[in-house]
Amino acid sequence: MGKLTTHVLDTMHGSPAGGMAVRLYRLEAGEPRLLQMLTLNADGRADAPLLEGAMLLVGRYRLVFEVADYFRHRRVSLPEPAFLDEVPIDFGIADPAAHYHVPLLASPWSYATYRGS
């Protein structure tokens, strides 16, 4: 059964980004349709797959990570406006039977992602 998961690591503090808010959209005809809003747990993960089984469809998706709000909550002094505010990651699901894992490594100044396992 296919599923979509995510995990965020705070590279500034060397820890999971527990408490970060995330939004998941499906991109339909280029327009985002909000599917879910969540807050990551203490391990920087969602408590359950974001999508799985029949809900995981072939198509384009977007995850939006609220990076600046997370670091402000951690009492990091950020400029106004913050260098990184929200980090959007657009990606495609080609095989709904596969596991798609979208990790994010984030600091107030940079981020990286890849297709994880």
**Positions at the binding site for substrate:** 7, 45, 114
How many angstroms separate the CA atoms of 52 and 81, rounded?
36
Q: Would you list which residues are annotated within the binding site?
A: 7, 45, 114
Burial code of 57-75, b = ≥16 C-beta within 10 A, e = fewer? eeeebbbbbbbbbbbeeee
Q: What is the widest separation between alpha-carbon atoms in the chain?
A: 44
Tokens of 60: 């384009």
Report the run of H or E that residue 106 belongs to, with start and end: strand 99-106
